[in-house]
Amino acid sequence: MTAQDPSRPTIAFAGGGTGGHIYPNVGIAQALVKRAPGAAVSFVVSDRPGDAKTMGALGYDWIASGARPLPNLRKPTTAVPFLSGWTRGSVQAISAFRRAKVSAVVATGGFVSGPAVVAARMLGIPAVMVNLDAIPGASNRAMVRLCRKVFTAYASDLLPGAEVVGLPLRDASVGETSPEAARTALGLDPKRHTLMITGATHGAESIINAMMALLSDDATLVRALDGWQVLHQCGTFDVGTLQRAYDDAGVTARAVDYLPTMGAAYAAADLVVSRSGAGSVAEAWANGCPTVFLPNPYHSDQHQRHNALPMVNAGGAVLVTDHVDAAANVKELGPALTRRLQDAALRKTMRHAAMTSRPPDGAAAVAQWLLANLP
């Protein structure tokens, strides 16, 4: 973080490890600057390569924290890097906040946020927490008492006194163009129905493997994709390998590692297959996209399943279990996806349900609180 003009408020946004922790902070930062053009913003993210790539594309001032995820209680050796990372992350945050004369810290949870909130407390800087998931993580539950204000995208008894708001969304999350214009901008055929598949920042390899298995083994699905095109964001997975799978099956597709304009991708899409991180659910819902959600199967609390349930219960999405095993996923994902590819009336019903039930964007609420409560 660089030193800022002391006459302007400087807000530090802490959250990283995935885009799901970074992008809500971007949305709040954008809402803040719209209301207070003189405000300065800086970010604290993780030192994972994906975070550097994300921040490089965004162009904000940022630092990479040395913080590490909470230790696995069944693996005591993980406590050492966690404690070392906590100390390193706290020292980095204290130095950065002092240098930039930070007025407030906004944290979206996760392992990057903890040291940043503690640093803010030590410096007497007000901290705001924005909980993103339906089941608050351990870090968020621990930070509540250190924060002056707590917002949450999902009501939870674990966060008493928190203000419920919509999940903050960045400007690029919502598509404002026609499907045809969005497809053209993305290098797609403007007239073709479009299936968008996303595994968020890291690509969700089990979803990728399921799709490649479907392309090779499920002739019914391949036939259902006739007349469609696929836009598949695969994160760190090899783009060439995935593209060949579509090409070999005769399916029109474009595989990409990263989509900087997710709003355009949602605007282009007639149907979406996605993980159900809080940000992914919020983006699909805000754009009114019929969605097949496959929650991350590796989370013991299954919070991604709970993230998706409000949109599912509203009728705008459907849940499919990610079994990790590609053959098992073919049996469940194949029929769910094929049905929605073939049934335009069902997609229309789902889109209407999503559009009429979508929650408001929470970025404005957080920005307004900051401006009203800055020291």
CA angle 2, 111, 108 (to 5 degrees): 70
Longest Cα pair distance anywhere in the chain, in angstroms?
64
Q: Are residues 226 and 93 in the same domain?
A: no
pTM for the whole structure: 0.87
Check residues 181 and 74 and name the one with the higher pLDDT: 181
Mean pLDDT for 225-250 is: 96
Residue 348 has a pLDDT of 98
Model confidence at 83: pLDDT above 60: yes
Mean pLDDT for 48-70 is: 92
Residue 275 CA to residue 277 CA, distance in Å, equals: 6
Give the count of beta carbons closer than 10 Å to the beta carbon of residue 124.
7
The position carrying tokens 């006459």 is 7
Lowest-confidence range among 202-206, 259-263, 335-339? 202-206
Model confidence at 259: pLDDT above 70: yes
Q: Are residues 157 and 179 in the same domain?
A: no
Judge whether 3 and 342 are in contact, CB under 8 Å.
Answer: no
Check residues 322 and 8 and name the one with the higher pLDDT: 322
Does the residue 5 lie in any domain? no
Alpha helices in the chain (DSSP H): 19-35, 49-58, 79-100, 113-123, 138-143, 179-185, 205-217, 219-224, 239-249, 262-268, 278-286, 303-314, 326-342, 344-357, 363-373
Model confidence at 39: pLDDT above 60: yes
What is the DSSP annotation of 130-188? EE-SSS--HHHHHHGGG-SEEEESS--TTSTTPEE-PPP--GGGS--S-HHHHHHHTTS
Q: Are residues 255 and 344 in the same domain?
A: yes
Q: Are residues 263 and 229 in the same domain?
A: yes
What is the domain range of residue 155? 10-167+360-373
Crossing angle between the packed helical segments 205-217 and 239-249, to the nearest 10 degrees: 20
Does the residue 98 lie in any domain? yes
What tens digit of pLDDT does each residue of 288-304 get? 999 999 999 987 788 89
Residue 227 has a pLDDT of 96
Q: Which amino acid is at 112?
A: V
What is the DSSP annotation of 355-370? HHHPPPPSHHHHHHHH
Mean pLDDT for 214-233 is: 97
Q: Count structural domains, the chain.
A: 2
Model confidence at 7: pLDDT above 70: no
Does the residue 1 lie in any domain? no
Q: Are residues 53 and 145 in the same domain?
A: yes
Residue 370 has a pLDDT of 96
Query: What is the average pLDDT score of the chain?
Result: 93
Q: Are residues 283 and 182 in the same domain?
A: yes
Does the residue 350 lie in any domain? yes
Q: Are residues 119 and 197 in the same domain?
A: no
Residue 98 has a pLDDT of 97
Does the residue 2 lie in any domain? no
Residue 62 CA to residue 43 CA, distance in Å, equals: 4
Q: Are residues 145 and 22 in the same domain?
A: yes
Mean pLDDT for 233-252 is: 96
Q: Are residues 240 and 353 in the same domain?
A: yes
Does the residue 30 lie in any domain? yes
- Phi, psi angles (nearest 5°) of residue 239: -60, -40
Does the residue 3 lie in any domain? no
Residue 53 has a pLDDT of 87
Give the count of beta carbons closer than 10 Å to the beta carbon of residue 219.
11
Domain CATH number, residue 331: 3.40.50.2000
Residue 93 CA to residue 102 CA, distance in Å, equals: 10
Q: Are residues 218 and 347 in the same domain?
A: yes
Q: Are residues 206 and 321 in the same domain?
A: yes
What tens digit of pLDDT does each residue of 334-347 get? 999 999 999 999 99
Residue 122 has a pLDDT of 97
Mean pLDDT for 18-47 is: 95
What tens digit of pLDDT does each residue of 117-133 get? 999 999 999 999 999 99
Does the residue 4 lie in any domain? no
Q: Are residues 332 and 364 in the same domain?
A: no
Residue 77 has a pLDDT of 80
